[in-house]
Structure 1
Amino acid sequence: MNRSSLSVSTSSLNIWWMLPGLGLIGLLTGAVIRSLAISGWATGLSILPAVGTMAFVVSLVLVNWQRLHRWAAHTVSFLLAWVWIVQQVGPLLDERLTSWRDQAAELVIRIIGWVRVLASGGRGEDIVLFVVALAFLSWWLVYATVWAVFRQRRPWLPVIANGTVFLVNYTYVLPKPDTEALVLIACALLLLVYHHVMQRRAAWEAQQINYPDLLPLRAMWAATVVGVVLILLTAFLPSTITSERAAQTWETLRIPFRMARAAWEDAFSTINAPPGAGSISFTARTAPLGGARSPGLDLVMTVRSSRLEYWRAVAFDRYDGSGWVNTTGELARSALGVATAEQARTPLAAGETLPVTDRRARRLITQTITLAQERNDDLLSFGGTPVQFSLPAQVEHLVGRDENGGITPIYDDVSLVTSLTPLSAETTYTVTALVSVADVQSLRNAGTDYPQWVRERYLQLPPDLPARVRAEAARVIAAANAETPYDQAIAIQDYLRRLTYSEDIPPPPSNVDLVDWFLFEQRAGYCDYFASAMVVMLRSVGVPARWVRGYASGDYDPEQGIYLVRENVAHSWPEVYFPGIGWERFEPTAASYTSLPERPLQSAFGEEEEGVAGSFGGTVPDPGRFEELEDDLTASGVNSGAASSTAANNPSAAGSSLLTGWFSVVLVILMGIGLIMLSVRLWLAHELRGLRLSAAAYAEMGWLANIAGLPQHPAETPAEYAQRLAHLFPEHATTIHGIATAYIAERYRRGAVTRVPTEDRRQALRRALTRYAIQTAFQRLWLPLRRGDRVGAGSKPAR
């Protein structure tokens, strides 16, 4: 077979040489598409493999259609994608739309409406459009990958694109698609090797350099072995981050993904939460009220606590008629002028105390939480009001302004707390919290002198709230003769507990207020509806309340002394604000896994000058003396307990662990580099086997020079190429010219006697080319940084 006919030029792509690349592209994009199809984000994603298969066939035809201009090819691909995706999405639309034309028209109308909603600042709710978006994304990944590899010769772009999509999906779903991840990594490495081998093969044939017929297959085999070994070596890397600085760096790297997630949630606010992003992931800004739910029985975490509590995750403040929105992070982001809500969170070092002010009728306790599952949202759960964590954390809280217009953090309005270190299964952390020991009389006497931030945020209701909801709240309160906010809350709580608890309810109708639908039409539901109804009814009569998500207490195991918290106790409940005391839990949901808060009628010790003694004994410090709270933490052993629960509070242990971790990383990197160098050396020796000494020496010199960024130009003769190299390496000029002269004599002068420079001189040339390659790579990385530093140092502030 004539090797020139196997060139990878765009004018004559040979299908036989394309087959290995096509196979790798199919596996690479297939892994990404399968991870999306099995993620569970929405019903209907099973169409994605069919979309990807058709995209693969279409891209193969268009890539080999050399006379078709690229923009024409892209247009044809888009039109075929639209036709095929409409055909696949058809079963998800109204069954009365039987023809392709009707289905296409329906999708166009939905897309136009969706764009208008987003342009006006609304949130998309069409789940079919979410499926269409992922279908187009899958088509584009396959088509762009085939096109970039075989027409543009840029494999890095599609590898990065596929990896980014996979990483975003991998971050938020459970169980993790680990098999697909390994396939993606292996195929990405092999695809890059395949592309490089094809490029070198084309260059060798253009220069008429002999090479073994099976060189591409041998190169792929060698790359496969090296890739598998490197993947196995990663198993020895440390699985946890012990450095707070490393954790903060990771948090910074995650900001673009979180920004993309926030935009995605705005565009498709009603997507289903897959396992790991649903019942045990609460960090989404919205919580729509939906239809039937079926929580699992898997263990989420265990909690060791001296007091039964609900384990809070996220507090929501805004009701829009269809669900709840957490606006705390957005308000903080706007006040601080940062890009994302995550950047507006306040970092909290391990063991650092959160300066809350509402501490009357509170008691300090310690809660030790051990996770049974990986938390992909890094959310920290707790009971009561948190004041200290044994892990470095970020607190999302309200940010206000003082009388002078300055920024004032409000730590009594915390919506959520996330860990700065990844939360994997078996992670244990300690929370020091203030839990309520308020008695009924204290709550009745709390009054209605609410802070401004409470009145502004926690009395909000949609302007189109049906009047009968307000009327029903007023009727219930009047019937109970409830005058104080506490008595009004109890009256509404008792009223709602008489409704039917059911998790098997129909999907709620659209364009109606769902609390109104629950109270007057459905009359049955689960915790989301009971808690929403109580918060809305209380707000309608001027009592500030918020909607909270998390977990009920769980099952108590007396033998181990812990609470077993499973997915089936994922719960929501209302909290009512009482001036000076803070947020108090109520329970309108009469379910088997819930419990009413226990409150004594009055304090067992009565009022004291510096605080209110709770029924558990001890006096809680006065809000104006926060230093005493820190003393209480230390005296009660809370700080020491937190320190012993994590290496973050033990400098020697943390330093030792960090040193061991970095030593392991360096060792694995050095082993990987050594293995790569050895594999390359063995591969090169194997590929040069069978060539005469002069041809082998010239091919080796050219290969090393090419890595160093000094390839032989197609129009350059061996003598001219040797002259250029000798100019750059004058100390090795004799060796370079000797290799080139021997190669020319052997190739073009039959029977000529050739003398190749000795092995010692060729080894010295190898070292010189290797050093040059390393220096060149270092300069490419370092010079832009130096240039940026000089520009930054030389810049002057604008006047």
Structure 2
Amino acid sequence: MIKRTDRYWNIPALLCLLAAFLITAFRIESTNWTAELEILKLVTIIGFVIGMGFGYSYFKRGLSSVLILLYSLVLIPWMLTITAEQSLSPIDKLNNLYGRIGNTLYQLFNNIGVEDPILFLVFLSIVIWITVVWGGFWMTRLGSPWLPLLISGITIFTTEFYYINDRNFYTAAFVIVSLVLLSQINIMHSFKRWKKNGVLVEFETEFNIGRSAMLSALILVILAWNVTGIVAAFSKDSPQQRKLFGLVENFRVQFAKITAPLQGPLIIQQEFFGDSVGLGTGQVLGDDVVLEVEVNSNRPQGTRYYWRARTYDRYQNQSWESTINNEIEYTVDSEDLNHPISADFAVRDFKFQTRINLGLLYTPTYPLEINRANTVLAELISDNIIDLSALILEKTIFAGESYEVRGYIPDPTIAQMRETELVYPDWVTQTYLQLPANFPERIRLLAEEITEDKDTAYDKVVSITNYLRKNIEYQEQIPEPPQNMDPIEWFLFEHKAGFCNYYASSEVLMLRSIGIPARMVFGYAQGEADQAGRTFTVTRKSSHAWPEVYFPDIGWVEFEPTGSQPVLNRLAGVSSNPQDNQDGSINPESEVSIDEGNNALPDRDLYEEFEDLEDITTSIKTPIAVILLPYALGVGFIAAIVLILIKRNREGKPFHPPIILEQLFEKNGWKTPVWLKRWSYYVRLSPIEKSFSTISWIFYFLRKPIVQGWTAAELVNEFNIYLPHLSVYSNQMLVEYQKALYSPQIPDPDLIRSLSRKMLSQSIIFQLKKIFVSEDEIEAPI
């Protein structure tokens, strides 16, 4: 391969530049603001290699920019998903990433506290990506990576500002490497110049100069590390400092919202249930969405969905505790979870879209398979059967992400629950019949009174459930219970009002007092269903606690004693005792007519037939033509645009969208917007007229008025009055402009474009100096 002479390929300089960029990435990662900062090293290396490659290539700068942009659109999202759950598919990873970004942007623009650091991570990744790509590009193509290096330096010093720590070696290393890079680039340019002029250079010259630069950099950094600081812009209450701080204050306020989740090295989970939960006094819950749940099929008849977070088995000191602390590691490759339940429960597939950060998983009652690694908190009943309490996440699921669960839905019939034998296994009786030592006798007597004429465990549960629904008023907030009285006793006999924590706790304790195993569950109720009944929107108001009751050979079954929740109706089923079916005892008695026994639903088989029929009719309602219509219209529109472009190209007519839009407005008699008129006018100008119009843009940028009717010479005269140090450029541009319009002489379009760029850049520099420096100190930048 022939070595190119129009490129700058200097290995020591490239390594120094890469080292400077990597030091910045390591410095940011060392703050531990979020666990995902580790990807910045990968962003740095890949971006630098791409920039270096395109800089050395034969591609022109414009084409290189387009190709780099295309690479960026693919690689940046890919790198941001590297730290995601590895079990997810690439599409799921991207969906979760975009979901997190969308949810965080919604929070940001609606003044809601931002809880996910994803925006901060994306911002840093893009800044570092742009810095290293163009650093590598400018290094190999121009031998001048100073602007990217400056941005990297600003990044590392800004990190020092926000993360106050002892003077660590990152900043010192960055300065040393930058000084060595400066010497290497100077050597590189000098060697190129000497070679061009035929100057003979000794072989060891580059090594000697590099070594001297390294020693000088070390000495300078050691000296600078002990200097107290820069005085001018950082002196307290100086005019420069006040002006600088005032300028950045608005930006700081907005940026603080994005960095709000980065208050420490760890991110606090928003939703998590610990080992104990108190009864509390309640609070007003809002309508903020926390979960959106999609299910693959209709809800089984005689059921309701409950999104379980954690179960609790021990009541002590006015709070619920979980004594189940056995941990089982679960991965996506693990076998399905095995529960002590009836094998004929319905199975559904659920997709949970989160709107809050999760530290544990919300699932249906009996999850079988989950696409997220987690720690299963469960009692090990036998070799492969567990009594599940909670699924604790190894990695936080951020708002906007999703996860999938396949699980059983308890759908026993009333007949099945009535016929269960009251012989409970030891693991149930040892854990789920516990009562506190000072359990009030009044509660036990009340439970016995309510259930005295009931023969089956199911009927006793229903009687207590209905008693609570009938006799206790739902109240979202209650006063603090008296100190000298058990809160459940006070709830049942004195206050007779409360919310779900008290309803569910009362039922669990009353059932245990008469020998029926039950436990406390916290999570969310079903939420609002869409018209099809397959998507559920769960809000804060759906936060809920409910009892689960154990039936031998069936498993845990939910009941609903809370008055604010709808009645939970179970299927009636068919009893194995013919006498029960004949005398109608399968149907509930009138005194329990408001809950599970009320209007007992027909048998499941009939509903399953109708479910199948409903699925068929639903699929027929949407013809394939209707589904394809939007795609056909889109393809037709694009094809029409392409044909118009081909036709205009053959006729030699350029394609200018603003002109076409303006003509469309005029043709239909509509009022043309001012911005469209200006855009259309601009695209009609010749290249030299466009370059000359830079003067008007500079006036607009500097907020100086332009009088309609000024000639070109008058416009330049006014420009020279305000920016006299640029008059050499403007007068030369006027000459070239007048050549093009008023004389047969041929103007120099390259010269007028160059003058235009110089005037624009110098005007911007002049305006920035006005902001940061007093006017007396401004020098003409000619």
Please classify the TM superposition score into its range, dividing by the shorter chain length.
0.3 to 0.5
Structure with higher Rg: it is: 2
What TM-score do you get using the length of structure 2 for normalisation? 0.42
More relative contact order, 1 or 2 (CA 8 Å, 6+ apart): 1
